[in-house]
Amino acid sequence: MTQNIKTKVVGVDIGVDYTTFAIVDLRGIIVAQERIPTADYPNVNEFVNVLSEQIVLLVEANGGYETVRSVGISAPSGNFITGCIENPGNLPWKGVIPLAAMLRDRLGMAVALANDAHVSAIGEHVYGCAHGMKNFIVISLGHGGVGSCFFSGGVPHLGAIGSAGEVGHICVADGGRTCGCGRKGCLEVYASARGIVQTAREVLAERSENSLLRSLANLTPESIGLCFDQGDVLAREVYRRTGEMLGIGLSTYASVINPEAIIMTGELTRKAWPWLEESTLQSFDEHVFHNIRGKALIMVSILNDNERDVVGASALAWEVEEYSLFK
Ligand SMILES: [Zn+2]
């Protein structure tokens, strides 16, 4: 008897606001997609119950179990090696949650889980800018954090316990601002949306000249950027300082990894890259090891963030060995 191959998987992206899940075919086409509000489920067991019920409904409405091979999940603080979400800072659940095992038990399918940066990198490798590259870095600039993952020799480098790529917590300013991790001067307290706003407050306190920033009701990366576009000197200073820090972080990273490319992603990149680009690239060139200078492309992702995370999670799903309760 011949066996039909399964041509679809489920990709799940657990975000702070919503959990999106989709049936994705082997070309990366989203066949059907739904979402549930993550924050509505403070109890993780309830979350897993609802998510698995919804996935079953979606699978049954789109070809059934016979056509769906496995599940891939992108989650903040997810660890591919353990299949657990480990001490998430921004999700409603605490501690170490064995989410891959919990979903596998309910769905009877293989489940792979990885952190959002790792899944973004897989998404970029399979469907985006990093297609065909073996050594590259993906950086995500967000509201409060900087995530990253890098590929080495064509595979993601996970590290001994799955914690590689925490570039958000490399020190770029000795004795600098206090980070959520408890240490001082981490990259993400400067190169994040929150960090940019804090830099704007510092610049305004230090300098006395007139600035459009002084009349803003709400300091945000976008409102500061719009002042930048009008030639505001202090707005330019805010982005100069941010780009300086980001360039130091990226150049240190690149000097260690020697990537073909650094791919910038995430909400802040999408909103603020035009204002960050010049100062970041200048600082990068100043600080990177001279033999790497000019050899690492710095580019902005061409994928839509939400779609990349779901199709990236689907690409992850193809990497796990098939498993079925029914065989
Ligand atoms: Zn830190």
In the block, residue with structure tokens 């897989």: 122
pLDDT, tens digit, 9 for 90 and up, residues 289-310: 999 999 999 999 999 877 889 9
Decide: helix, strand or coil at residue 235.
Answer: helix
Q: 8 in helix, strand or coil?
A: strand
Query: How much distance in Å is there from the Cα of 94 to the middle of ligand 1?
Result: 19
Tens-digit pLDDT profile for residues 68-119:
999 999 999 999 999 999 998 889 999 999 999 999 999 999 999 999 999 9
**Ligand 1 centroid, distance to 188 Cα (angstroms):** 7
Q: With a cut of 80, say whether residue 325 has pLDDT above it.
A: no
For residue 69, give the nearest of 8, 11, 113, 27 by alpha carbon: 8
Ligand 1 centroid from CA 182, angstroms? 6
Look at residue 324 in the predicted model and tell me its pLDDT. 74
Residue 4 CA to ligand 1 center (angstroms) comes to: 49
Residue with token string 């170490």: 96
Residue 154 CA to ligand 1 center (angstroms) comes to 28
Cα 312 from Cα 119, distance rounded (Å) = 5
172 CA to middle of ligand 1, Å? 10
Going from the Cα of 171 to the center of ligand 1, the distance in angstroms, rounded, reads 8
Per-residue pLDDT band for 327 (boundaries 50, 70, 90) equals low
- Evaluate whether 82 touches 123 at the Cβ level (below 8 Å): no
CA of 145 to the centre of ligand 1 (A): 9
Q: How confident is the prediction for the chain on average, in pLDDT?
A: 94
Share of the chain above pLDDT 70, in %: 98
Instruction: Summarize pLDDT for 128-187 with one digit per residue, the tens.
Output: 999 999 999 999 998 888 999 999 999 999 999 988 999 999 999 999 999 988 999 999
* Burial category of 180 from C-beta neighbours within 10 Å (exposed 0-12, middle 13-18, buried 19 and up): middle
Quote the pTM value. Answer: 0.91
Cross-strand pairs, 324:
109
